[in-house]
């Protein structure tokens, strides 16, 4: 029997219908992915994300001009081809005019252009104008004909295409954000998924019916629930009720691995553990400056109870180039007289942060700094966002293609939790970010920026720790590129049996 006749057989057709029904029924229960959020989905804005969990949504409901494959190579996205001219200073992208929004309407070249210019409001997207040709934005990004998008750069940049593949350049429906900065259930999406539900406590994504990239074995419902309480998160992980979770502490790693529900995936990037201060007296700030030069980072990073992979905080500027540690006697002499301080641990603090706080308290006591550790009630995140706190433990995500860009994003683009510190580093960082700056000059400027932060007392770097992700055993993760710390949902395939 020829294949075409075999497929047309009534018996085979019935079999295929039954098989499809079984697959559909299976995925109604098994193809649901559960994740966590830290704040109300109704506050979800592409211009003010403060947690990776919010980026998880953004990265899956927006499509980019370009994408990265599992080898971290640039591949086509909304742009199906491109050419480079003018010695790397001009890029022309031929747009795929067949792509559609989640409501079925075409994604036009003008909408893509509008999205890219509108997104310059985002703190991370503002790095792009430093690469573009100076002057009005419409002279640097514009259309030639119905489907050719042009970028004009100030100077050639080997990282330009990688910038366009980053999630903050995912194409948004700019019309939806003319009157509001927040997503809603009716917001059109360009990516693999669309928004089905958005309440104070829950966000639900389902496949975009006009984007064929989601298969029947990928997640068919992605449910984000607001759970900020650390104890509740721990319980959910122990019971295997969360499908993807970024591990922020040794404790949660143990809970996940001991539960037997998860596989552990290593991230290609890391986080930086810090002690940070904002609203402190001059005497307290001086004490932190002294403490910064006294603390032994090896104690935090290499302690006997620490998991493998932690390391002393490093950067493009080698650790050996930082100032040598003070002895106890030298630190006491510089401090002058004893100082009292309160260290507040947020309601989201991990067990590791609590342990680090106790270690800082113990070390500080040796030189006359008396620290009281206080656990805050719920709601400390708002104080942190507004820099309305004294002393706390904070993680800084290290997601940047280079360290200049990282510091630029934190300190120089209006990111509210670090706004008050921009005066310390932005002169050096903006100069280092200028296209064409020689590597030796970049390192010199970075060294100065770190020295400014180091002397300030506002940020005390403790150690880097690797990003690790818990992925439920029911999912098979494919094409993971070990770079982007965001789950791409159509790379997850439900395991059978």
Q: Which of 387, 386, 399, 392 lies closest to 348, judged by CA?
A: 392
Q: What separation in angstroms does the CA of 322 have from each of 191, 438, 441, 450?
A: 45, 22, 17, 9
The total of structural domains in the chain comes to: 2
Task: Spell out the residues 6+ positions from residue 277 whose beta carbon is closer than 8 angstroms to its own.
Answer: 284, 285, 288, 390, 391, 392, 457, 458, 459
Measured from the Cβ of residue 392, the count of other Cβ atoms closer than 10 Å reads 23
The domain that holds 382 is classified in CATH as 3.10.105.10
Residues 277 and 147 in one domain: no
The stretches in the chain having pLDDT less than 50 are 1-10, 12-13, 15-24, 303-309, 311-314, 318-321, 399-401
- What is the pLDDT at residue 218? 94
Q: Is residue 406 part of a domain?
A: yes
The Cα 44–Cα 182 span in angstroms is 6
pLDDT digit string, tens, across residues 434-492:
767 888 898 889 888 888 887 899 998 887 777 788 999 999 988 776 555 578 898 89
Q: Is residue 44 part of a domain?
A: no
Domain boundary among 146, 177, 208: 177
Q: Is residue 309 part of a domain?
A: yes
Residues 274 and 128 in one domain: no
Domain span including residue 100: 62-177
Contact predicate 355/233, CB 8 Å: no
Q: Is residue 168 part of a domain?
A: yes
Domain boundary among 177, 202, 235: 177
Q: Is residue 233 part of a domain?
A: no
Domain boundary among 130, 148, 177: 177
Residues 164 and 287 in one domain: no
- What is the pLDDT at residue 5? 36
Q: Is residue 370 part of a domain?
A: yes
- What is the pLDDT at residue 415? 76
How high is the mean pLDDT of the chain? 82
Residues 418 and 273 in one domain: yes
Q: Is residue 42 part of a domain?
A: no
The domain that holds 118 is classified in CATH as 3.90.76.10
Q: Is residue 8 part of a domain?
A: no
């Amino acid at each position: 029997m020829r294949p075409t006749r075999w497929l047309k057989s009534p018996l085979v057709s019935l079999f295929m219908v039954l098989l499809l029904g079984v697959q559909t029924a299976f995925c109604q229960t098994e193809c649901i992915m559960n994740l966590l959020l830290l704040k109300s989905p109704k506050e979800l804005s592409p211009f003010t994300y403060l947690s990776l969990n919010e980026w998880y949504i953004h990265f899956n409901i927006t499509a980019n001009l370009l994408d990265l494959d599992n080898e971290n190579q640039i591949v086509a996205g909304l742009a199906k081809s491109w050419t480079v001219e003018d010695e790397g200073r001009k890029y022309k992208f031929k747009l795929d005019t067949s792509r559609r929004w989640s409501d079925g309407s075409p994604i036009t070249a003008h909408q893509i252009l509008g999205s890219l210019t509108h997104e310059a409001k985002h703190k991370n997207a503002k790095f792009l104008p430093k690469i573009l040709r100076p002057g009005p934005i419409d002279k640097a990004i514009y259309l030639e004909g119905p489907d050719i998008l042009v970028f004009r750069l100030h100077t050639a940049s080997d990282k330009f295409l990688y910038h366009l593949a980053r999630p903050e350049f995912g194409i948004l429906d700019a019309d939806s954000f003319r009157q509001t900065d927040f997503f809603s259930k009716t917001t059109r999406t360009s990516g693999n998924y669309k928004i089905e539900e958005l309440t104070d406590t829950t966000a639900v994504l389902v496949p975009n019916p006009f984007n064929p990239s989601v298969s029947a074995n990928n997640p068919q419902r992605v449910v984000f629930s607001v759970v900020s309480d650390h104890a509740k998160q721990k319980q959910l992980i122990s019971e295997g009720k969360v499908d993807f979770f970024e591990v922020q502490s040794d404790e949660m790693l143990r809970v996940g691995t001991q539960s037997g529900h998860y596989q552990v995936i290593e991230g290609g990037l890391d986080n930086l553990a810090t002690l940070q201060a904002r609203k402190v007296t001059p005497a307290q700030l001086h004490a932190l400056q002294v403490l910064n030069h006294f603390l032994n980072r090896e104690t935090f990073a290499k302690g006997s109870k620490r998991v493998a992979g932690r390391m002393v905080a490093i950067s493009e500027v080698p650790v050996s180039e930082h100032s040598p540690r003070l002895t106890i006697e030298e630190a006491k002499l510089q401090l002058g007289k004893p100082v009292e301080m309160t260290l507040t641990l947020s309601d989201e603090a991990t067990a590791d942060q609590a342990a680090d706080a106790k270690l800082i308290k113990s070390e500080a006591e040796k030189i006359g700094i008396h620290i009281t550790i206080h656990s805050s009630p719920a709601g400390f995140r708002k104080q942190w966002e507004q820099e309305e706190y004294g002393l706390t433990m904070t993680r800084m995500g290290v997601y940047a293609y280079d360290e200049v860009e990282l510091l630029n994003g934190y300190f120089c683009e209006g990111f509210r939790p670090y706004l008050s510190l921009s005066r310390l580093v932005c002169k050096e960082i903006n100069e280092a970010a200028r296209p064409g700056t020689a590597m030796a000059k970049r390192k010199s400027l970075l060294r100065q920026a770190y020295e400014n932060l180091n002397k300030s007392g506002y940020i005390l770097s403790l150690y880097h720790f690797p990003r690790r992700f818990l992925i439920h055993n029911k999912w098979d993760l494919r094409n993971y590129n070990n770079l982007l710390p965001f789950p791409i949902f159509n790379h997850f395939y439900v395991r059978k049996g």
